[in-house]
Structure 1
Amino acid sequence: MQLVDIIDEAWGWSGLKPDSIVGDNPFGNLIVKDKEGRYRRLCPEDLYCRMIAGSRAELDMLSRDRDFLHDWNMSELVRQAREKLGPLRPGFKYCLKIPGALGGEYGGENLATMTLEGLVSASGSIARQIDQLPNGASISLVVT
């Protein structure tokens, strides 16, 4: 299965109709172009998929924004992950064992690696399950 198909299956519930992937980072964040030519950021560690640009011109402008680039590059977290886990194997990305959106630590013992496909699929599933919960709601995370 192609990654675009996995994104559609895992994140389609959010309204995303993926067309192509135009960027990725070492933590599996993706910039996804949708079928309408808009761009979304899929962020597995924070369990969201949000519109970041309505056109290629807006995306190009965003790619020069220091704050966006600092957040996108995740330099300090990537450095910690590389030191703790070593370089990434092909097809793998760094990740948080417990997503930050669920209170997971951004570093330390909460760092791991996972296939990009698995990360996209798992984060989409968790995000869908908690989408309608109010902030601060109690949850039980069951790993199978």
Structure 2
Amino acid sequence: MNTELLGAVREGWGWTGIDAAAVTAVSPFGHLIVRDAQGAFWYLDPELRSLDRVASDEPSLFAYMRDAEVREIWEAMALVDAARVRLGAPEAGRCYSLKTHALLQGDYSHDNLCTIPIAELIRFTGDFEQQTRHLPEGSAVQLKVVE
């Protein structure tokens, strides 16, 4: 799984310049902690479509993850509980997420919860962010599925 996730980070988010070496943690909603080749740690948030360097070493990462706001976002307890009731536990390699339209709109209603392969979520959100990052907020986007 870690090899597949690492590949998804490299494919979906490599355009940011991250030299991803390992995925060290995965939240129930597919948020990742990624260690780069230099030993720094990055927080990948697929809902916000962001990848931020959060620590230069493990002690700094542990301090970052102890922050109450960070823990609340990482654990997402209420949302995880709602998803577990609605969908059951996700199978191996999957996480909870929002259906695509809701993910892009930030609509966290329980009807929009689903499970998805984590690697697919990471690739999609990275690719989408790369293509849309320069658009003004509120811009209309049309998705085109290509097989």
TM-score strictly above 0.5: yes
Letter in 1 for 2:127: S
5+ residue gaps, structure 1, are none
Deviations 1:42-85 (A, max 9, x none): 11122111111122221011122112111111111111111111
> Is 58-67 or 100-109 further displaced after alignment?
100-109
Letter in 1 for 2:6: V
Pairing partner for 2:55 from 53, 56, 66: 53
Moved runs in structure 1, 4+ residues, more than 3 A? none
Counting matched residue pairs gives 144
User: Deviation of residue 143 (structure 1)?
Assistant: 4.1
User: Deviation of residue 100 (structure 1)?
Assistant: 6.0
Pairing partner for 2:33 from 31, 34, 39: 31
Identity score, percent: 32
Residues 24 and 31 in structure 1, CA contact (< 8 A), matched pair in contact too = yes
Pairing partner for 1:104 from 97, 103, 106: 106
Q: Which residue in the other structure is 1:43 paired with?
A: 45
User: Deviation of residue 3 (structure 1)?
Assistant: 2.0
> Is 16-25 or 97-106 further displaced after alignment?
97-106
SS in 1 for 2:107: coil
RMSD: 1.7
- Structure 1 31/88 Cα, relative in aligned 2: closer, same or farther at 3 Å? same
Q: Which residue in the other structure is 2:10 paired with?
A: 8
TM-score (norm 2): 0.88
Q: Which residue in the other structure is 2:115 paired with?
A: 113
Q: Which residue in the other structure is 1:92 paired with?
A: 94
Residues 46 and 100 in structure 1, CA contact (< 8 A), matched pair in contact too = no
Letter in 2 for 1:118: E
Is 2:67 the counterpart of 1:65? yes
Distance in 1, Cα, partners of 2:99 & 2:10: 23
